[in-house]
Structure 1
């Protein structure tokens, strides 16, 4: 019959649990991941929006400064007169008027660092600074402004100019011999950094689009942050991971950047999102605990019950299941199963006892079969003596027979010693001499260390009687009984050999005697004695006793192998 593979309860529970938990956890994970990514993107966009606003302010400042310079040089009469003046005194007078106009503008915008007025005629140079710059920086500025010629490109755009600790932007307008310039100091723009804690590791700075910082400590460190189309860049600086967010300032070669440590995921989350993460972790932990709880309370007890049932199915009825279970159904199942095993064990014990009683009854019946068989032979002998009127011999035989019967009735038990059994054989031969005048020649070869070994009663006498009864030689009968210890396949036996010179067994009889297990003579009137011995050997020694028949020439031989490890025999 083809075996059917059935799913066990462990697989079913695991499958059901995983079918519910995995999709749930996966959806929660996707929701949490999406929320976190959206929050991170939102934070970056917020920073970028702030930078864009500040960039727009800086763009307006640069454009406004260009417009103011253009108006002063193209439309202002003071600059026109300053340009066409010949004397140094006139240039000083109109330069003063121009600086008075520029002073309010200098205080109006935070990032304006100064104005510069220069004329090659009379070599006149007039700076106007908002702050006090170091003398080397002022000299650098003067050398740059007063150089003989400026390329055309320097008059049409903002020029980055490096000072000792920063880079400033310079815009120049005017004529070939007269120049009005404005300096934008990007390091003075601190209005957008008011919301950044002083002790934080966040850095705001201006840089060229090529990534060269113009402000902050990054300028002195010669760091370069290459331009990228994406406003967000993740990079490594000073052996730490940072995120760089940038915003371009119009069409100028300038961008506003914020460099801040790359924070972990949790730093981007708000309270609700953190609660969602905690709930997800709790769910994962809870599902693991539920799985462990199911295994401990349900799966493991069921596996234990299944294992116990499997062992019981193999015949081990001594096992019992644990009845201490928290689940009522499992407890009731365990109690019922144990009660069933107790009932089976009790029934098995009762059946075994009944089997023993039946074997004992059959054994007693066999013994009763042996005794009438011998009794009838004795009565036939007495009858023969009476016919011959041998009254003295009758008295002697009755006396010998009474002693023999006393031994038989006294030894109504499973086994007797080998010495007692040999004595019963001697008594039987004496009776044969008295009844029939037959005096067999008995040779006994009994090892001294086996005389007290227990043997089934009449087990030797049966074959001695059979030799005399079926003798073919009516003159001289020779019997030999030999008993020695033997070892066969590590098993110790008492080996008893009974042989005679009475012609041996016919071949068909040998075939039957050596296969007594295939025949049943229990309730028949022939071969009763021999089958009795065979059957009693099986019953007494649990099938370990052996009986063999064979011929040696004209000698018939019977061998008994009685186990010495049974019934306490040593």
Structure 2
């Protein structure tokens, strides 16, 4: 083949060159779109999952910090107002010292049961080199001696400093175990507490972080306090700051999301395998390679056809591309008799569009998953005022030595929190929700003796009806907060029945109280369907219920607010009846 023939065959005006360029021009945009959608969807999914786990870490760390704050308050209160501690501190003789020591041992032994995370309390008197520990569970002699050495060394190293102050938690490593230690000083006596970092990980045992994923506590220097095998297995790097998420790992990537503690120099970190986040998205990259290979194979074969084998299929492809460009991602190329190469191109095109559609569905499903996780977080919110009031009641009962009422209160609180932490279901049976509400009333009756009564009326045939958890108790709690006073008794009634709405049976729940009712400005806002929730967390309970009902039922559930005659607040909730949990 001479030079003239080569120029003619491969000239820019030849049909061969035009066909090759035409196929390339048509194919490249599809590959670009697919690659763009692959990268974009990967980033979107990873960001959404990172935000979801970040919110989860914030929630759990907040619970941990609140627990440490409660322990701190207890220790400060003991040192400030407890007469046994003051007497122990001021003891002069050996007899008086050891007698007061026994009293403090009994007190701390009784009080340690209020804090599920504590390993041990201790009192240390440096002048006598005397250490008293109240420990939950058993420990070895070697562990006892190691802890004693750490306490003595910590006190001696900071004897002249102001290190021992409220809220100052330290991280200590003994052998291969990390502990959170908190010491307060009063005169020449030190009151402290030990908490094993492993004990704070118990709430994460049922949390799904994907295969080989998990959660752990780490120091601010990036050293794992728990779950070191997760970090060492794939050489995951832990950073000091946890403001932003990042990917790390040697053999496989992990999404690292964390939250710093406000009470001590440690972080809560979640390690989520990247493949769990992306699920089936990695297959899209293989499809991109297959599509590119198919396009390269179809180029030389496409040059053997003219109108029916080349131009017509190209026109069909161009028409489909125009429809896609206009936003119609349902566009497909209809099957027709043509060369095998264009059949491959057409099938590949349709396959790519199906994958793009599937990818959009996957992104939508991820959004639904995020919505479900939001529902879980809403259900796990705990009213801090109720928690503090309950602890205050227990404290007052302890002061007067009313052990029987303390047992009743403690049992009610155990049932209350057991229900709270199992209410991460979308629905529970009505009988369980009403039993939880009755248990809540028992707690409040101990707080407001002779000032609060209630009655609950529900047909037995509705006992197994499924309802969202904590809906009834939230409004009862709101009524107790705003209606109950010590001036006159308050009565709260709950009436449950079935009504028909739009031809379908619905559950109606009416909650009334005999208090002053809603203020006019508050009632007006509620009747307009607007949120009363503020940045300080006021009215968060009403907003919580409204939000959860919207997530579960869309617009099928309704809440109405009114004032009764002559007084009192009335809340009526109507929701569809669910038959399954």
TM range (shorter): 0.3 to 0.5
Q: Which of these two proteins has the greater Rg computed from alpha carbons?
A: 1
Higher relative contact order (CA 8 A, sep 6+): 2
- What TM-score do you get using the length of structure 1 for normalisation? 0.45
